[in-house]
């Protein structure tokens, strides 16, 4: 089973993403900001990450950049409400594999993560 | 203050409530104020920077807040729902503002949101910006949602 990490500052969103993803994947870590995400990525080495953008301390785009500098093969799916054209463009140019705009359907999340391992 | 901002927030709030809370919101009133000071006991404040700057302040009563969390967590026990209520209302505010930001930013601009902060009752000590504000009231079967929109174009934009 592929392993993942959920990064979102809202505990309710981490809970919901965990419930959706754990039907097919194993969640090995959760983080509530970009700084914790970077630290936990080294500790638990998840095979994929769902990453929110609007978060305290280190935001998602800054974390994405640092994460991919450390590990260019990291598989990151952005899950964020701020799906502005320019921000989606920035995230995908930096190396995010997909951009899911909240509110999302469960199947949209599962499809996106499945595609990372297809 | 551009009145089109109000329409964008109404559309976004109605859509997000339909999807996440499964409740229909309808427009009750719209008034102009000098600052986004909320009128109901539970408030969620988001800061906006980038091409637009200012604050968006959501406000509701405690039952409304609990109903949002209950709808987002249909299989949880009341104690757990209570514990997650602040997180639920923050996330709803974040999603409505995020959705609205897509229309506000259009093709070329960028708008950044700060993480939402929740305040209840008398503990509220927030510095609200003095920016011309549109206060929207949307009504539903679970009560009233107030959205105070205090946005101006940035000087550098």
User: DSSP readout, A15-38?
Assistant: HHHHHHHTTTSEEEEEESSHHHHH
The DSSP letter of residue B115 is P
Closest CA to A79 of A111, A57, A39: A111
Taking an 8 Å cut-off on Cβ atoms, the answer to whether A54 and B114 are in contact is yes
Report residue B110: phi and psi, to 5°.
Answer: -130, 140
> Given 3-state DSSP classes, what are the helix, strand and coil percentages for chain B, each rounded to the nearest 5?
40, 35, 30
How many A-B residue pairs are in contact by the CB < 8 A criterion?
72
Please determine, for residue B124, whether its predicted confidence score (pLDDT) is greater than 70. Answer: no
- Exposed/middle/buried for B74, CB within 10 Å: 0-12, 13-18, 19+? exposed
A106 to chain B, any CB pair closer than 8 A? The answer is no
Is B108 near chain A, with CB under 8 Å? yes
More confident residue, B1 or A77: A77
- Per the prediction, chain B carries an average pLDDT of 93
Give the position of tokens 């974040």.
Answer: B94
pLDDT of A42 strictly over 60: yes
Interface predicted TM-score (ipTM) over 0.90: yes
Q: Which residues of A touch B17 (CB under 8 A)?
A: none
Q: What is the mean pLDDT of residues B116-136?
A: 86
Interface check for A89 against chain B (CB to CB < 8 A): the answer is no
Question: Beta partners for B154?
Answer: none
Residue B105 is nearest to which of A55, A80, A86, comparing CB atoms? Answer: A86
Mean pLDDT of chain A: 97
Contacts of B105 in chain A (CB under 8 A): 84-87
**A89 vs B102: CA distance, rounded Å:** 13
Reply yes or no on whether the pLDDT at B57 is more than 80.
yes
Average pLDDT over residues B17-30: 96
* A56, A85, A101 member nearest B115 (Cβ): A56
Name the band, by pLDDT with cuts 50, 70 and 90, for residue B157. very low
* Strands (DSSP E) found in A32-75: 48-51
Per-residue confidence (pLDDT) for residue B122, from 0 to 100: 64
**pLDDT classification of A9: cutoffs 50, 70, 90:** very high
What's the whole-model pTM score? 0.96
Q: How far apart are CA B30 and CA B11, in angstroms?
A: 14
Where does the pLDDT of residue B1 fall: very low under 50, low under 70, confident under 90, or very high at 90 and above? low
Residues of B with CB below 8 A from A15's CB? Answer: 73, 84
Output the six-digit token pair for A117.
């391992």
Q: Is A55 on the interface with B (CB under 8 A)?
A: yes
pLDDT tens per residue, range A68-114: 999 999 999 999 999 999 999 999 999 999 999 999 999 999 999 99
Cβ contact B12:B20 at 8 Å:
no
Distance, in angstroms, between A89 CA and closest chain B CA? 11
Q: Does B73 touch chain A (CB under 8 A)?
A: yes
Share of chain A above pLDDT 90, in %: 100
Cα A13 from Cα B80, distance rounded (Å):
14
Model confidence at A53: pLDDT above 50? yes
């Amino acid at each position: 089973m592929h392993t993942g990490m959920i990064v979102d500052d809202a505990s309710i969103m981490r809970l919901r993403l965990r419930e959706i993803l754990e039907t097919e994947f194993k969640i090995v870590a959760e983080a509530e900001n970009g700084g914790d995400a970077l630290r936990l990525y080294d500790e638990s080495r998840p095979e994929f990450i769902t990453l929110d953008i609007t978060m305290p301390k280190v935001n998602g785009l800054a974390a994405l950049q640092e994460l991919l500098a450390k590990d260019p093969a990291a598989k990151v799916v952005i899950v964020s409400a701020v799906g502005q054209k320019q921000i989606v463009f920035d995230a995908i140019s930096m190396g995010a594999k997909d951009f899911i705009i909240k509110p999302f359907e469960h199947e949209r999340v599962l499809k996106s993560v499945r595609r990372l391992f297809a | 203050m551009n009145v089109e901002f109000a329409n964008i927030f109404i559309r976004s709030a109605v859509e997000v409530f339909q999807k996440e809370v499964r409740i229909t919101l309808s427009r009750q009133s719209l008034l102009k104020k000098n600052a986004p000071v909320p009128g109901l006991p539970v408030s969620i404040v988001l800061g906006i920077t980038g091409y637009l700057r200012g604050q968006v302040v959501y406000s509701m009563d405690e039952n409304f807040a609990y109903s949002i969390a209950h709808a987002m967590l249909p299989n949880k026990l009341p104690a757990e729902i209570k514990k997650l209520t602040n997180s639920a209302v923050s996330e709803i505010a974040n999603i409505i503002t995020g959705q609205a930001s897509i229309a506000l930013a259009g093709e070329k601009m960028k708008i950044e949101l700060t993480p939402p902060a929740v305040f209840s009752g008398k503990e509220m000590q927030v510095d609200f910006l003095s920016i011309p504000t549109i206060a929207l009231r949307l009504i539903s079967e679970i009560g009233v949602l107030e959205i105070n929109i205090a946005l101006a174009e940035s000087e550098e934009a």
